[in-house]
């Protein structure tokens, strides 16, 4: 009984190039939808975060990935920020640990 079912499945396998494209079309559509709904927004979010971190300057209040909120005292050239978390208490953090700029300072007038 099982052998006849296997022969019946192989007998109708003679398709063509059209059936191969038709079988891959759902996969292509699923990938397109996943790109539009997941990958593209994530790339945009990462691009915005990188621009925000690069624009951090002295006087900004920032939130680090560790949950520390502080005011930027010094911006170093080697991707290191000095943040004041309390009066007289300063810590050095890597720029890429900044997750949010909570309040920005006004740019200096020229």
Q: What is the mean pLDDT of each run of 10 residues along the chain (110 residues)?
A: 56 63 90 93 94 92 94 91 95 94 71
Question: Which of 73, 100, 102, 96 is closest to 85 using CA atoms?
Answer: 73
Q: Do 58 and 72 touch, CB atoms closer than 8 A? A: yes
Instruction: Tell me which residue has tokens 């396998």.
Output: 13
Model pTM? 0.63
φ, ψ of residue 107 to 5 degrees: the values are: -65, 150
- CB 94 within 8 Å of CB 75: no
């Amino acid at each position: 009984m099982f052998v006849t079912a296997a022969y019946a499945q192989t007998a109708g396998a003679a398709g063509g190039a059209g059936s191969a494209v038709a079988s891959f079309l759902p996969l292509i559509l699923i990938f397109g939808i996943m790109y539009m709904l997941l990958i593209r927004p994530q790339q945009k979010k990462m691009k915005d975060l990188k621009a925000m971190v690069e624009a951090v300057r002295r006087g900004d209040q920032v939130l680090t990935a560790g949950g520390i909120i502080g005011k930027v005292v010094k911006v170093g050239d080697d991707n290191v920020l000095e943040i004041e978390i309390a009066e007289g208490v300063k810590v050095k953090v890597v720029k890429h640990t900044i997750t949010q700029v909570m309040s920005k300072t006004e740019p200096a007038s020229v």
